[in-house]
């Protein structure tokens, strides 16, 4: 049986208001799926719930990975099961640079110690793979990163941890065209490095990043807290051309949406 991240009838509330209204979604390992949808449809709510953010209240449903319902596990335990759900960014720790933080995070997730020299060699290798500047890892965590830099931190951390499955939310927001290409190419490289075994759920409002993701196996569209449509990569282009309003009208006409 292929392993998969399987979301079953997931209902989630924020501040007492139901946002996710029964999500069903299966993303097998070895496949790259995109989750698209208009602003406010609940995409980030899904990402935060998968991550285990305490503010998001699970009303019903489960998320199965490796035979476990990860919603019952701490964010730490989820990471140890090979899930990468977001860049784990500590609240400003004065004096800690990104490279050292990544070392600490790596040891925590892997549950082993790795000497700093050996770690740094691995880090350099990943920086090269991702075409990132080495000076980046000397940046202080407390200096604050721009949206684009944060995404690079996320990609770098993911490359180091070599997860089996990654969820990326709004990976392209705050990025210019070059940034989008770098992130997309990083996804492609990490997928390839895994021997096409990794799974990805890439959450995005825009199709532009998806144009650079290869292969893209499936595209799902979320509206009003539900998956309303799933299809192949061509669905992303169709949405880009015609817009979400067009789809909403169509789904209303078909009685899929109220």
Site map (CB under 5 A) of Mg ion, residues 176-205, x = contact = ------------------------------
Minimal distance, residue 258 CB to ligand ADP, in Å: 17
Site map (CB under 6 A) of ligand ADP, residues 45-84, x = contact = x---------x-----------------------------
Distance CA 56, CA 12 (A): 6
Nearest to 201 by CA among 160, 241, 170, 246: 170
Distance CA 86, CA 89 (A): 9
Determine the size of the site formed for Mg ion (CB under 5 A): 2
Residue choice 2, 16, 39, 94 for contact with ligand ADP (CB under 6 A): 39
37 binds, among Mg ion, ligand ADP, none (CB under 5 to 8 A by kind): ligand ADP
Q: Residue 121: helix, strand or coil by DSSP?
A: helix
Nearest to 12 by CA among 24, 2, 22, 27: 22
Minimal distance, residue 41 CB to Mg ion, in Å: 8
- 150, 173 contact by CB (below 8 A): no
Give the residue with the Cβ less far from ligand ADP, 9 or 197.
9
- 145, 136 contact by CB (below 8 A): no
Interface ranges with Mg ion (CB under 5 A): 43-44
């Amino acid at each position: 049986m292929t392993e998969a991240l399987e979301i079953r009838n997931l209902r989630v509330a924020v501040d007492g208001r139901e946002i996710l209204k029964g999500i069903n979604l299966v993303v097998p390992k070895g496949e790259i799926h995109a989750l698209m949808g208009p602003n406010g449809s609940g995409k980030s709510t899904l990402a935060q719930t998968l991550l285990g953010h305490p503010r998001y209240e699970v009303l019903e449903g489960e998320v199965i990975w490796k035979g476990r319902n990860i919603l019952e596990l701490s964010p730490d335990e989820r990471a140890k099961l090979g899930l990468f759900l977001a860049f784990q960014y500590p609240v400003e720790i004065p004096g800690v640079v990104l490279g050292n933080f990544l070392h600490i995070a790596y040891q925590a997730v892997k549950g082993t110690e790795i000497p700093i020299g050996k770690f740094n060699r691995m880090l350099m290798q990943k920086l090269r793979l991702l075409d990132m500047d080495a000076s980046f890892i000397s940046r202080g965590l407390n200096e604050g990163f721009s949206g684009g830099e944060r995404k690079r931190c996320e990609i770098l951390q993911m490359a180091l941890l070599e997860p089996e499955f990654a969820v990326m939310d709004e990976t392209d927001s705050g990025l210019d065209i070059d940034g989008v290409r770098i992130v997309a190419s990083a996804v492609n490289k990490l997928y390839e490095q895994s021997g096409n075994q990794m799974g990805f759920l890439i959450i995005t409002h825009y199709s532009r990043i998806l144009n650079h993701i290869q292969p893209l196996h499936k595209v799902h569209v979320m509206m009003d807290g539900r998956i309303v449509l799933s299809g192949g990569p061509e669905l992303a282009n169709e949405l880009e051309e015609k817009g979400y309003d067009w789809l909403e009208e169509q789904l209303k006409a078909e009685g899929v949406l109220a």
